[in-house]
Amino acid sequence: YHMKVETESVQSFLNCRDDHSIKDFDKFHFSPRSVPYKHMPCYVLKMFGELGFINTWRIKTTTLARFILFVKKGYRDAPYHNWVHAFSVAHFAYLLMVNLNLIKNDYITSLQGLAFLVSCLCHDIDHRGTNNSFQTKCGTVLASLYSSEGSVMERHHLAQSMCILNTDGCNIFESLSSEEYSEVLDLLRNNILSTDLTSHFRMAEQQREMISAGFKKNDPTHRKLLLAMFMTCCDLSDQTKDWRVTKKTAEQIYDEFFSQGDLEKSMGTAPAEMMDRERASIPDLQVQFITNLVLPLFKNLADLFPAAQPLVDTIINNKNVWKHARHLFQEYSQNGTKSMEILL
Ligand SMILES: COc1ccc(Cl)c(-c2nnc3c(C)nc4ccc(C(=O)NCC(C)C)cc4n23)c1
Ligand SMILES: [Mg+2]
Ligand SMILES: [Zn+2]
């Protein structure tokens, strides 16, 4: 049996060498969700290689391959928070490093880049398709473990990531010195915890000030704020792709939200409006989310990196489609995601 698993997994890393069908893999407009599912592990390996991390940090390819497969296995098949989401988030980290030359222009060090890519890959491991307030409201096991510190799900994703690193043959950081090792774990912790949207709101103000005052490359606080900003950009990167991707993402997210709402109703608690398929208007919620969160975030990014301006333009286009969709939805208003079909 082990032979079968090993050969199958080795096979999954040979696919993308001869996959010439993928064009523009390193461009902002490329949708990582268009990569064939069975080629995704191989493309993760390719990203580590192209960013120079395998050589710089002396990572054994077999160890990296095994690590990637364990991370992939760590994701559940939730409608949105699954392995494909993790792959797309990691791909955007790769796009930022390649297109904004983050390491070459020493906005971040190579070690911070390595931790950034690994954090994105691991940031939602073992997500159950329910959010932090569900954990605390329903008193789940994860809430009993982490609710006193907040960011319940994010602490679980971090704990799961540490477990994988401590699994035989999966420690991709084994060749690092002890100080590099403790730094990379610290970065992993900060990066994964910063994907909690509610903590993003707290940092958004500081990020705004940092950008308008002028980013200082050797200011450790600026570095931390920048990495936190990058993590949220990657987590929301579906919004920077064309309408088809944005629409499909919304379908998956509200599929997950409405299932949580159904669960909360069956447990006798009233769900938030955005989780309630009877009350939520997806176009309205999306216009709000883009206006209040996505646009300010990517405008900050574009203020610091003008090469990111096309991302802002795409987000504005998508927001306008949602605005036009609003009246369409009212006309055909059915409940839940079914009415998404009317959007082309
Ligand atoms: C960065 O961490 C996360 C975690 C979970 C999710 Cl689902 C997302 C996420 N990724 N794409 C989306 C889109 C297109 N719409 C969303 C609408 C609402 C919310 C939400 O959680 N609102 C409550 C909060 C403001 C207190 C999240 C949404 N979202 C990001
Ligand atoms: Mg998350
Ligand atoms: Zn995520």
pLDDT averaged over 10-residue windows placed end to end, the chain, 344 residues = 63 75 94 95 96 98 96 98 98 98 97 99 98 96 96 98 97 98 98 96 93 93 97 98 97 98 96 97 97 97 98 98 87 64 71
pLDDT number for residue 69: 96
- What pLDDT score was predicted for residue 5? 58
Q: 250 CB under 6 A from ligand 1?
A: yes
Tokens in use for 116?
A: 């950034």
Triad 285, 32, 200: Cα angle to 5°:
45
DSSP 233-261: HHHTGGGGS-HHHHHHHHHHHHHHHHHHH
- pLDDT value of position 2: 60
Phi-psi region of 58 (alpha: psi -120 to 50; beta: other; left: phi over 0): left
Single pTM value for the model: 0.96
Catalytic residue list contains 200: no
Q: What is the pLDDT of residue 335?
A: 58
Please give the torsion angle defined by the CA atoms of residues 204, 282, 275 and 231, in that order, rounded to the nearest 10 degrees: -30
Q: Please state the atom number of ligand 1 nearest to the C-alpha of residue 198.
A: 26
Residue labelled with tokens 């473990």 = 145
**Residue 317 has what pLDDT?**
98
Per-residue pLDDT tens for 51-93? 999 999 999 999 999 999 999 999 999 999 999 999 999 999 9
Q: Are 193 and 162 in contact (CB under 8 A)?
A: no
63-92 exposure pattern, b = at least 16 Cβ within 10 A, e = fewer: bbbbbbbbbbebbeebbbbbbbbbbbbbbb
Please choose, from the candidates 18, 25, 14, 17, the residue with its C-alpha nearest in 3D space to the C-alpha of residue 87: 25
Choose the residue to mutate in 85, 231, 236 for probing ligand 1, maximizing ligand atoms within 8 Å of C-beta: 236
Per DSSP, the three-state class of 108 is coil
Find out whether the beta carbon of 339 lies less than 6 Å from any atom of ligand 1: no
Q: Which two tokens stand for residue 138?
A: 């329903």
253 lines ligand 1 (CB under 6 A): yes
Q: Say which residue the tokens 């600026």 belong to.
A: 222
Tokens 């954990």 -> residue: 135
DSSP designation for 292: I
Query: How far is 216 from 219, CA to CA, in rounded Å?
Result: 5
Q: Which atom of ligand 1 lies at the shortest distance from residue 238's CA? A: 11
The pick from 137, 152, 197 for probing ligand 1's pocket by mutation, whose C-beta has the most ligand atoms within 8 angstroms, reads: 197
- Using CA atoms, how far apart are residues 300 and 210, in angstroms rounded to an integer? 10
Q: Quote the CA–CA distance of 49 and 64 in Å, as a whole number.
A: 10
Backbone angles phi, psi at 239, to 5 degrees: -70, -15
Cα 26 to the center of its chain, rounded Å: 17
Q: Separation of 93 CA from ligand 3 center, angstroms? A: 13
The torsion angle over the Cα atoms of residues 23, 27, 29 and 30, rounded to 10 degrees, is 40
